[in-house]
Amino acid sequence: MIKEDVCMKTRITEMLDIEYPIVQGGMMWVGRAELASAVSNAGGLGILTALTQPSPEDLVKEIARCREMTDKPFGVNLTILPSINPPPYEEFLRAAVESGIKVIETAGSNPEPFLPYLKENGVKVIHKCTSVRHSLKAERVGVDAVSVDGFECAGHPGEDDVPNLILLAAASEKLSIPMLASGGIGNGYQMAAAMALGADGINMGTRFVATKEAPVHENMKQAMVEADERATTLIFRTLRNTARVFRNQVAQEVVAIEAKPGHTDFADLRDLVAGARGRERCVEAGDLEDGIWTAGMVVGLIHDIPSCEELIQRIVAEARESYASRLACLAG
């Protein structure tokens, strides 16, 4: 029999100073203090989503609010995307660093321009990647770890359509820095499998939405419980900006527009996919058919709405059971 904590001590737990190698990924409108503090208190790493806050000053307040709820480490996510009127990314980063945050999860564009400032302030940077080549580029520019997102993930899975069974193994062959497995993970058996493929831990988004502490409408949580693994769909394929979302009336309308002959322009979709619409009508009001909301294929493995403590303890127990039983088989 293996020692109880063998599977749980990895380069990620050492780097982030957490008990279990389980990270709650940044999620727009969801990554708030209630959820992040609950994940951290349960032994994982909670993440606040910077751009959920209206301004850098509001992020400072949210960090302070999270500190009132936990004395454990937590991080901040910043998704960096090119746009006509981009948010003040550098100001959000400075707000986080000056508030004492020591872990930043970046996503989207290359974080290299921000790395010197973050390194100078002793911040560990985890960058989300959807391919081996992007993971290697992130390693070259100096991030501390990567979170490798398979095609199963919610949100943007990239354009390569490679699922985690292949992607994690391929990335592990070439990376030297720690790797988190992200996308499609919701239980400890998957965690054990991901770590067997070379991951140092897991990053979960969708599964943490269906928890008691997640600040979303109960209708959304219950919809995840009732869904199966076919309940998501892909939008923005024609724009080469693929996003995985929950399949509802609006998502199906977007897919139908994209299927029409000719070039799809984002202007044709803007009103349907507006972030404010999804937040106000789906996340907050619970009308799950009247806006876009992201969800991963892992909804097919969500069968209840536990607390973050209950969920993390269950995942840890399942992972340990998986390791123990397989080692026993090999020994026999």
List all residues 6 or more positions away from 105 whose beta carbon is below 8 Å from its beta carbon: 23, 25, 26, 47, 75, 76, 77, 78, 125, 126, 127, 128, 147
Q: Are strands 232-235 and 22-24 parallel, antiparallel or unpaired?
A: unpaired
Q: Read off the pLDDT of each residue in 306-323 and give the average, rounded to a whole number.
A: 95
Angle between helices 308-331 and 188-196 (to 10 degrees): 50
Mean pLDDT, range 198-221, rounded to an integer: 98
Per-residue model confidence (pLDDT) at position 130 = 97
| Predicted pLDDT of residue 263 | 76
Q: What is the pLDDT of residue 270?
A: 93
Strand pairing report for 232-235 and 243-246: antiparallel
Judged against a pLDDT cut of 70, whether residue 22 lies above it is answered with yes
Q: What is the pLDDT of residue 264?
A: 81
Nearest to 200 by CA among 40, 70, 329, 18: 18
* Residue 163 confidence (pLDDT): 97
Q: What are phi and psi of 111, to 5 degrees?
A: -85, 5
pLDDT at 325 over 90: no
Quick one: pLDDT band at residue 247, thresholds 50, 70, 90?
A: very high
Computed over every residue of the chain, the mean pLDDT equals: 95
pLDDT over threshold 80, residue 213: yes
The residue ranges of every structural domain in the chain are: 6-215+305-331, 232-294
Indicate the pairing of strand 46-49 with strand 74-80. Answer: parallel
Q: According to the model, what pLDDT value does residue 323 have? A: 81
| pLDDT higher than threshold 50 for residue 272 | yes
Which of 5-9, 33-37, 149-153, 203-207 has the lowest average pLDDT? Answer: 5-9
Spatial separation of the C-alpha atoms in residues 312 and 222, rounded to whole Å: 19
pTM of the model: 0.95
Going by pLDDT thresholds of 50, 70 and 90, the confidence category of residue 2 is very low
pLDDT mean over 83-103: 94
Q: Which residue has the higher pLDDT, 330 or 213?
A: 213
Q: What is the mean pLDDT of residues 201-220?
A: 98
- Residue 8: pLDDT band (50, 70, 90) is confident
Position 137 confidence tier, pLDDT thresholds 50, 70, 90: very high
Instruction: Please name the amino acid found at residue 115.
Output: L
* DSSP SS3 for 89: helix
Residue 17 near residue 73 (C-beta atoms within 8 A): yes
- What's the chain's length in residues? 332
* pLDDT given for residue 332 in this prediction: 59
Query: Is residue 328's pLDDT more than 70?
Result: no
Tell me how crowded residue 3 is: count the other CB atoms within 10 A of its CB: 9
Among 3.30.420.40, 3.20.20.140, 3.40.50.300, 3.20.20.70, name the CATH number for the domain at 6-215+305-331: 3.20.20.70
Whether the Cβ atoms of residue 230 and residue 300 lie closer than 8 Å to each other: yes
Q: Report the C-alpha gap between 66 and 74 in whole angstroms.
A: 9
For 222-244, write each residue's pLDDT tens digit: 999 999 999 999 999 999 999 99
Whole-number percent of the chain with pLDDT over 70: 96
